[in-house]
Amino acid sequence: MSMMTLPIKCFGVFRKFGESLNVDIAVGSSVLEVKQALIQKLGQDQKVLVEESVLANDNEILPNVYILKEETTLSILPPVCGG
């Protein structure tokens, strides 16, 4: 199984973990699997927050079924409260 490292930029409440996080995951994993890997990395006490958040690239928010075929920088976007 070929692995890749995904840098994930942190926003909002995720900034407590730093500017970005690296997640090691199999090539061809889904966004949902990346979120599950994030929960493993951050701990079960972050499970609800991660599940309520979305992952995005620099163009769009990615659905949970989106397949990541190569290394790319993502962002984790927690629930928003602009205005």
Partner 1 sequence: MNGIKALVSRDPLSLQDAVAYVSDTGHGAIDTFIGTVRNTHEGKAVTGITYDVHKTLAEKALWDICAEAQGIWRATRYYVAHYHGTLDIGGISVVIAVSSPHRAESFEACRYVIEEIKKRAPVWKKEHYIDGISDWLPGHSLSSEAETSVTCCGHCGEEAHA
Binding site for partner 1 (CB under 8 A): 11-13, 15, 52-54, 56, 58-63, 66, 75, 77-83
Instruction: Give the shortest CB-67-to-partner 1 separation in angstroms.
Output: 13
Nearer to partner 1, 2 or 18 (CB): 18
Nearest partner of 34 among 1, 74, 61, 83, judged by Cα: 74
Cα–Cα dist 41/44, whole Å: 9
Nearer to partner 1, 15 or 69 (CB): 15
Instruction: Give the shortest CB-56-to-partner 1 separation in angstroms.
Output: 6
Cα–Cα dist 12/35, whole Å: 17
The tokens for 72 are 């790319």
